[in-house]
Amino acid sequence: MVVNLVQERLGASSMAEQVLRTIGPVVLLGPPGAGKGTQSKRITEHYHIPQVSTGDLLREHVRQQTPLGIEVQAVIARGELVPDHLVCDIVAWRLRQPDADRGFILDGFPRTQKQAAWLDSFLKFEFFETGKWASWLPIVIRIQVDYNKLLLRITGRRTCPTCGAIYNVHSNPPLVDEICDKDGTKLVIRDDDRDEVIRERLDTYERQTKPVAEYYDKLGRLVTINGDQSVDDVSAAILKEIDGRACGVASGTEVKGN
């Protein structure tokens, strides 16, 4: 009983430490199917820092009809892409919220080299305490997965339209081919999981993200994780990299930056 009590106290102490630690900004890069969503959720739960999704932010501003949201809505209505300055303004608004004081995970941002440079400038001059900005520059983690394995992951995905359960015909098939184990519904392939669509998505990702990865690599802030490992092994590798950087932030050590 005494041992259990000690273990409970140690667990509570460890959780409190995670809640109080300064983690700093984390950027996850990876193609569709690499597991960014799963890993973002795990990082959020482990460190108790928010996940900042530009897509969610844009939709929320439009829904609430904020001044920024009205501008975004007008751009979308014209069939145009939301320009960098509007995306950056919305990200800046979100990063100034109190829950991001210890750090945050950026989801879907930066998508271009220009956005990456803006983020560095924002962190340096506008957001964090003068003199500590270099320690707050993002750690950028790229989850790298073999192209053919990505195709198997995504094109093999099947979804139950009734309960939302997800299967994969290659790695996690249902007990009965194409039938949901839980409710017997016929499984479906999402339109964006079809072979011709996913190849275009992967090619687009490669074109857009390569300059962003190169930008951070030149600054010594790009970490590449082997995404062909198990989900747990990928998580362990990511947390190890973040912990190593977070120790530097806590001690005032500056990470390599411009």
Confidence of residue 78 (pLDDT cuts 50, 70, 90): confident
- pLDDT at residue 255 above 60? no
Side-by-side strand order, sheet with 51-53: 51-53, 103-107, 24-29, 139-144, 222-226
- pLDDT at residue 2 above 80? no
Residue 63 carries which side chain, given as an amino acid letter? Answer: R
Which helix (DSSP H) or strand (DSSP E) does residue 215 occupy? helix 195-218
- Tell me the pLDDT tens digit for each residue of 129-155: 656 666 688 999 999 999 888 888 888
Record the pTM.
0.76
Sequence-separated contacts (24+) of 190-199 with Cβ below 8 Å: 190/157, 190/159, 193/154, 193/155, 193/157, 194/155, 195/151, 195/155, 198/32, 198/33, 198/150, 198/151, 198/154, 198/155, 199/151
- Of the two residues 248 and 50, the one the predictor is more confident about is 50
- Of the two residues 6 and 63, the one the predictor is more confident about is 63
| Predicted pLDDT at 92 | 93
User: What's the mean pLDDT in 81-91?
Assistant: 88
User: What's the mean pLDDT in 2-14?
Assistant: 50
Rounded to whole angstroms, the Cα distance separating 169 from 179 reads 11
Residue 211, helix vs strand vs coil: helix
| Predicted pLDDT at 128 | 60
What dihedral do alpha carbons 15, 127, 93, 50 form, nearest 10°? -10
Q: Are 82 and 76 in contact (CB under 8 A)?
A: yes
| Predicted pLDDT at 103 | 93
Q: How many residues does the chain have?
A: 258
| Predicted pLDDT at 152 | 86
| Predicted pLDDT at 4 | 58
User: What's the mean pLDDT in 167-174?
Assistant: 90
Enzyme catalytic residues: 36, 111, 157, 190, 201
Tell me whether strands 24-29 and 103-107 are parallel, antiparallel or unpaired: parallel
- Of the two residues 127 and 222, the one the predictor is more confident about is 222
- pLDDT at residue 111 above 90? no
| Predicted pLDDT at 184 | 95
Rounded to whole angstroms, the Cα distance separating 215 from 235 reads 24
Residue 104 carries which side chain, given as an amino acid letter? Answer: F
Which helix (DSSP H) or strand (DSSP E) does residue 105 occupy? strand 103-107
- Of the two residues 219 and 129, the one the predictor is more confident about is 219
